[in-house]
Amino acid sequence: MATFEEFRLLLVLYYDANCISDEDFLRLYEMFPSKNPHFPYNEYSSFDLDNMSEDEYKAELRFIKNDLPDHAEALQIPPLHVLYALMPKTYFDNLDFTDDKCNLE
């Protein structure tokens, strides 16, 4: 079964090939709206807290960088080494640590 996005793309292709009329295209295209907006995530730079300036940090996250440990403590988020210890060992078997980013195999 096709997704709404695939169906809308197919409508555009049919319309481009003159297989459906203007009225039918508009009617069908409006009948099947996309539920999720399309965000071209690959056009944005990767999110990196370490490379953000203080002003950028406050504008994006609404608090300053030095407040992060206080927020983590208030939310009772354990340190990373504790989180790693709690994860199943099989999870780490599938991770590739040779790159800066962990890629699942």
Q: What tens-digit pLDDT sequence spans the chain (105 residues)?
A: 677 778 888 889 999 999 989 999 999 888 887 777 777 778 877 878 888 888 888 888 888 888 888 988 899 888 877 777 777 666 556 655 555 554 444
pLDDT value, residue 17: 92
Rounded Cα–Cα distance for residues 37 and 89 (Å): 36
Picking from 35, 58, 67, 60, the residue whose alpha carbon sits closest to that of residue 45 is 60
pTM score, whole prediction: 0.38
- Interatomic CA distance for residues 53 and 34, integer angstroms: 36
